[in-house]
Amino acid sequence: MKTALSTLEMRRATSVAEALEILRDEPRMPIAGATDVYVGLNFGTLPELRYLDIWALDELRTITVNEDVLVLGALATYTMMVASALVQERLPMMIEAARQVGGPQIQNRGTIGGNIANGSPAGDSLPVLAACDAVVVLQSAGAERRVKFTEFYTGYRKTVMRRDELVVAVEVPRVSGRQWFRKVGTRAAQAISKVVVAGVRGEGARIAVGSIAPTVIRLTATERALATGSLDEAMVALRGEVNPIDDIRSTADYRKRVTENLVRRFWTETA
Amino acid sequence: MHDPDAPDHDDAPSGLTRRNFLTRAGAAGIAGVAASIPLAAALAEGVPEATDAAPDIPGTVPIALRVNGATLRMRIDPRATLLDTLRESVHLTGTKKGCDHGQCGACTVHVNGERVNSCLRLALMHEGDDITTIEGIGSPDALHPMQAAFVAHDGYQCGYCTSGQIMSAVALMKEPCGPRDSDVKELMSGNICRCGAYPNIVAAIQDVRGNSPMRQG
């Protein structure tokens, strides 16, 4: 409930260069699809009141392949990814993830860059990016740097981004091996994940899980056990590295059990 | 169409309706609804003086929105969602507030032809966009084919989710969607109906698409 007039203040940028200049000169939260922003604003959990609307930056609304790397522009929406032949060919697990984000109304507005920057541990595209060793491209006025996706988060909704930086793209190298994605929520549609898993089975296994830790995580010990040992040994490793919590959406016990089941299923279904 | 916000009685004394009585009675206490545009006046394009003349409430900001083809100028609380702005400032109450956080779809409108949840949009982000609400797609005298199909197939019970369902269904007609019922259900998954009218909603949509209902999924 909004009871007093606020100081919410919005600027709109029309180009990346303009957006970066604005961010250099004053701290603002960039927003695009804004599908999670208003939820936080309305619940009073979002302290940010100065925004930069970047929805109009069409130059970031692209999906391309450059030197065998799939480049998802930050403003590529879930709807765009679902419709993209390049994503279908190279990263089908992202299509699975995108189709399960909210409903079509949210898929029309939610962006890959927003999912990354928002940093919710339950973000459905994030395990996909973690499992395929993606790289986040950050720009600030006059500078650009690349950060491994698995090193992008430093804590619950905390990232390595500086306030003057903008996520402009995420780069996905060619993925060799079978891709697998599964989301478990309260219901099939319109639910936030209790556990969400993305896996790649190539020479070894790459497994990333969302909603069970402060950030999306890779199950590195489980991956090692799968590469060299049995599924049962991998389950022992998994129990050692997964420590979810009880929260509003689920319990630690449930999440731990479901994570085990999903990893088992990943391994048997991709055999 | 059944609309719980519609005037109770067309012949109400002195034009008083439940809604405009409540709106007037509450106006003094509602910050942010600085300028209410009478809809009839607003629909005549370029009427803005009426609103510019309204006293500025501190903290409100001016905005021009293009709704159902008409450009409307008003002052709003900068935090106002598109949904609240449509309902409380533009007085188009066909768009419903269900969950107010993007889970139910009752507030679905079209922005530049694409369906979105208006409860998740800040109105400030939509200057210059073409916004279409349920009032913009048909009228009681000239129903949109999707509205007529919902009536014919009884695609509702209480009616609260219906305008959102219809706005989603109209948008679906232009989206890639397979022929089966299960394809329609997937694309209608952003709209929840607590009464459970789903089979009739799918039948209505399949009717308009020219598909006979296929119950396999």
Question: Do B122 and A190 count as a contact with CB atoms less than 8 A apart?
Answer: no
Question: Do B101 and A103 count as a contact with CB atoms less than 8 A apart?
Answer: no
User: Which of A5, A55, A102 is the closest to B31 by Cβ?
Assistant: A5
* Size of chain B, expressed as the number of residues it contains: 217
What residues of A are in contact with residue B106 (Cβ under 8 Å)? none
Identify whether residues B76 and B126 lie together within a single domain: yes
Q: Provide mean pLDDT across the span B83-92.
A: 97
| pTM greater than 0.95 (yes/no) | no
Q: What is the pLDDT of residue B213?
A: 59
What do you get for the CA distance between the two ends of chain B, in Å?
Answer: 29
Identify whether residues B114 and B146 lie together within a single domain: no
Residues in Cβ contact with A138 at an 8 Å cutoff, skipping those fewer than 6 apart: A144, A145, A146, A147, A161, A165, A166, A167, A168
Residue numbers of the domain that contains B154:
20-35+138-214
B181 and A CB contact within 8 Å = no
What Å distances lie between residue A1 and A42, A109, B82, CA to CA?
7, 24, 16
What residues of A are in contact with residue B108 (Cβ under 8 Å)? 105
Determine the 3-state secondary structure of B4 from DSSP: coil
- Nearest CA-CA distance, residue B123 and chain A, Å: 11
Identify whether residues B161 and B150 lie together within a single domain: yes
Question: Do A102 and B190 count as a contact with CB atoms less than 8 A apart?
Answer: yes
Q: What is the pLDDT of residue A249?
A: 83
Whether B4 is in a domain gets the answer no
- Nearest CA-CA distance, residue B158 and chain A, Å: 21
Give A69's Cβ-side CA count (13 Å radius): 15
Q: What is the pLDDT of residue A31?
A: 95
Q: What is the pLDDT of residue B23?
A: 61
Question: Do A34 and B122 count as a contact with CB atoms less than 8 A apart?
Answer: yes
Q: What is the pLDDT of residue A37?
A: 85
Identify whether residues B147 and B105 lie together within a single domain: no
User: Which of A39, A41, A188 is the closest to B102 by Cβ?
Assistant: A39
Looking at the predicted structure, is the pLDDT value of residue B18 above 50?
Answer: yes
Q: Which of B136, B157, B173 is the last residue of a domain?
A: B136
Q: What is the pLDDT of residue B76?
A: 93
Whether B6 is in a domain gets the answer no
Q: What is the pLDDT of residue B164?
A: 98
Q: What is the pLDDT of residue B157?
A: 96
**Average pLDDT of chain B, as a whole number:** 83
* Size of chain A, expressed as the number of residues it contains: 271
- DSSP-derived pairing of the beta strands A153-155 and A50-53: unpaired
d(CA A233, CA B97) in angstroms, rounded, equals 51
B100 and A CB contact within 8 Å = yes
Closest CA to B188 of B200, B201, B176, B197: B201
Identify whether residues B164 and B126 lie together within a single domain: no
pLDDT-based confidence at residue B37 (cuts at 50, 70, 90):
very low
Can you tell me the ipTM of this complex? Answer: 0.88
Q: What is the pLDDT of residue A192?
A: 85
Looking at the predicted structure, is the pLDDT value of residue B172 above 70?
Answer: yes
Q: What CATH number did the domain enclosing B150 receive?
A: 1.10.150.120
Identify whether residues B102 and B158 lie together within a single domain: no
- Nearest CA-CA distance, residue B78 and chain A, Å: 6
Q: What is the pLDDT of residue A269?
A: 96
Residues in Cβ contact with B161 at an 8 Å cutoff, skipping those fewer than 6 apart: B96, B98, B104, B105, B106, B191, B192, B193, B194, B195
Q: What is the pLDDT of residue A45?
A: 72
Q: Which of B136, B168, B187 is the last residue of a domain?
A: B136
B116 and A CB contact within 8 Å = yes
Q: What CATH number did the domain enclosing B119 receive?
A: 3.10.20.30
pLDDT-based confidence at residue B33 (cuts at 50, 70, 90):
very low
Q: Alpha carbon A215 to chain centroid distance?
A: 10
Identify whether residues B71 and B126 lie together within a single domain: yes
- Nearest CA-CA distance, residue A29 and chain B, Å: 14
Contact, A57 vs A33, CB < 8 A? no
- Digit-by-digit pLDDT tens for chain A (271 residues) are 454 545 788 999 999 999 999 999 999 999 999 888 888 877 777 777 899 999 999 999 999 999 999 999 999 999 999 999 999 999 999 999 999 998 999 999 999 999 999 998 889 999 999 999 999 999 999 999 999 999 999 999 999 999 999 999 999 999 999 999 999 988 777 778 889 999 999 989 999 999 899 999 999 999 999 999 899 999 999 999 998 888 888 899 999 999 999 999 999 999 9
Q: Which of B136, B154, B175 is the last residue of a domain?
A: B136
Top residue of A36, A105, A108, A248 to mutate, by most chain B CBs within 10 Å, is A105
Looking at the predicted structure, is the pLDDT value of residue B29 above 60?
Answer: no
Q: What is the pLDDT of residue B175?
A: 96
Number of independent structural domains in chain B? 2
Number of Cβ atoms within 10 Å of the Cβ of B19: 15
Identify whether residues B73 and B31 lie together within a single domain: no
d(CA B203, CA B60) in angstroms, rounded, equals 45
Whether B7 is in a domain gets the answer no
d(CA B169, CA B205) in angstroms, rounded, equals 7
- Nearest CA-CA distance, residue A43 and chain B, Å: 10
Whether B1 is in a domain gets the answer no
Looking at the predicted structure, is the pLDDT value of residue B13 above 70?
Answer: no
Greater pLDDT, B132 or A122: B132
Tokens of A48: 């940010």
Whether B15 is in a domain gets the answer no
Contact, A57 vs A13, CB < 8 A? yes
Bridge partner residues of A73 (DSSP): A169
Top residue of B33, B76, B125, B129 to mutate, by most chain A CBs within 10 Å, is B125
d(CA B116, CA B129) in angstroms, rounded, equals 12
Tokens of A162: 């500086």
- Nearest CA-CA distance, residue A7 and chain B, Å: 7
d(CA A112, CA B7) in angstroms, rounded, equals 44
Q: Provide mean pLDDT across the span B31-35.
A: 41
Identify whether residues B203 and B171 lie together within a single domain: yes
pLDDT-based confidence at residue B20 (cuts at 50, 70, 90):
low
Whether B176 is in a domain gets the answer yes
Look-up of token digits 């067309």: B10
Closest CA to A217 of A236, A198, A230: A198
What do you get for the CA distance between the two ends of chain A, in Å?
Answer: 51
Top residue of B95, B103, B182, B191 to mutate, by most chain A CBs within 10 Å, is B103
d(CA A35, CA A28) in angstroms, rounded, equals 17
Looking at the predicted structure, is the pLDDT value of residue B61 above 80?
Answer: yes
Closest CA to A96 of A11, A178, A10: A178
Q: What is the pLDDT of residue A6?
A: 59
Q: What is the pLDDT of residue B128?
A: 93
Eight-state DSSP code of residue A29: E
Whether B188 is in a domain gets the answer yes
Question: Do B59 and A53 count as a contact with CB atoms less than 8 A apart?
Answer: no
Rounded to 5 degrees, what angle do the CA atoms A16, A18, A22 make?
Answer: 115
Bridge partner residues of B58 (DSSP): none
Identify whether residues B45 and B128 lie together within a single domain: yes
Looking at the predicted structure, is the pLDDT value of residue B63 above 70?
Answer: yes
pLDDT-based confidence at residue B168 (cuts at 50, 70, 90):
very high
Q: Which residue spans within B3-156 are E strands per DSSP?
A: 61-67, 70-76, 108-111, 114-117, 130-132
Question: Rounded to the nearest 10 degrees, what angle do helices A231-241 and A252-269 cross at?
Answer: 150
Q: Among B8-12, B201-205, B211-215, name the most confident range.
A: B201-205
Identify whether residues B30 and B55 lie together within a single domain: no
The kind and range of the H/E element at A65 are: strand A63-66
Identify whether residues B165 and B116 lie together within a single domain: no
Whether B53 is in a domain gets the answer yes
Tokens of B208: 């308009």
Q: What is the pLDDT of residue A161?
A: 97
Q: Alpha carbon A257 to chain centroid distance?
A: 23
Q: What is the pLDDT of residue B59?
A: 83
- Nearest CA-CA distance, residue A79 and chain B, Å: 10
CB pairs under 8 A between A and B: 95
Tokens of A215: 């950030």
One-letter amino acid of A205: A
What residues of A are in contact with residue B102 (Cβ under 8 Å)? 35, 38-39, 102, 105-106
Q: Could you give all domains of chain A from N- to C-terminal order, each with its CATH number?
A: 5-53 (3.30.43), 58-173 (3.30.465.10), 178-269 (3.30.390.50)
d(CA A79, CA A64) in angstroms, rounded, equals 15
Q: Provide mean pLDDT across the span B24-52.
A: 45
B167 and A CB contact within 8 Å = no
Q: What is the pLDDT of residue A36?
A: 87
